[in-house]
Amino acid sequence: SGLGSGQMQFRELEKAGMSYINAPRQLVFTSNQGKVVNGVLDGTFDVAFVRTDQIERTRDAATGELVDPARLKIINPQPDLEIDGVPFPFESSTPLYPEWNLASLAHVGDDVATEVQSAMRALEAHAAVGYGILGCYDACDGGGEEE
């Protein structure tokens, strides 16, 4: 149900004319994406939504070894994905989105939203991340995804 493990994929399904509510016989939500990958491998699930790179970092429940990505198929892989001109190293069924989204409710003032955004960027260990993500924009500039 999170952005990387559901919302983006639900949007792609809807764009393709499919309903994630009416089309599947069963829809299961978990809180562990590694279990989701293993569930596809062991036949518990037919199809799964996981964040990009989850397959490559999941350990096979049966062997303890990293999962071989060739055992799985990415549905509708997006061609030529890149960040700042660098090819993206993983297959993805959706466009790329910033990993750490920060939003405010409509009643929060622009000054407060900007101050919170500045505070988050000031976290030294992560300060450069937000500036380097393609599509990242400053609060109140009118950019970003509207859907």
- Residues 4-49: tens digit of each pLDDT: 557 788 888 888 888 877 877 777 878 788 899 999 999 999 988 8
Q: CA 33 to CA 12: how far, in whole Å?
A: 19
Output 75 or 131, whichever has higher pLDDT.
75
Residue 143's pLDDT is 47
Q: Give the tens place of pLDDT for each residue, 73-115.
A: 998 999 999 988 889 999 998 888 776 677 889 999 999 998 9
Output 146 or 16, whichever has higher pLDDT.
16
Residue 66's pLDDT is 93
Of the candidates 11, 51, 60, the one whose C-alpha atom is nearest the C-alpha of residue 31 is: 51
Residues 60, 41 contacting (CB under 8 angstroms): yes
pLDDT higher than threshold 90 for residue 71 = yes
pLDDT higher than threshold 70 for residue 56 = yes
Residues 45, 29 contacting (CB under 8 angstroms): no
